[in-house]
Amino acid sequence: YAAAGSGIARAIVMTAGLVDIGTVVVGGGVSGAWPLLEPLIQERLAAEPPISGHPVKLLRAALGTDAVPLGAAARARHELTGR
């Protein structure tokens, strides 16, 4: 999990450097390992903050592992019904 946490933190830092994000919401399968990954990600973000100098708030998605299938269902509904 250390390598995964470090990789996710690095991706967050790079993205924050490009688009100056303030909050990252982690969902899908990654959120299933949240208790193991979150402290590792936070540790790496503290050690290597974004170049902007602004802290990045890290949140677990409220939908957890259901975010991806619910998003796909919503997109399919929109494509089929226009709503």
For residues 11 and 58, what is the distance between their CA atoms, to the nearest angstrom?
Answer: 13
- At 25-81, the pLDDT tens digits run 988 788 889 999 999 999 999 999 998 888 899 999 888 778 788 889 999 999 999
For residues 13 and 25, what is the distance between their CA atoms, to the nearest angstrom?
Answer: 14
Side-chain-side CA neighbours of residue 18 (13 Å): 6
For residues 58 and 21, what is the distance between their CA atoms, to the nearest angstrom?
Answer: 11
pLDDT at 8 over 90: yes
Using alpha carbons, list the distances in angstroms from residue 38 to 6, 14, 17.
10, 18, 20
pLDDT-based confidence at residue 3 (cuts at 50, 70, 90): very high
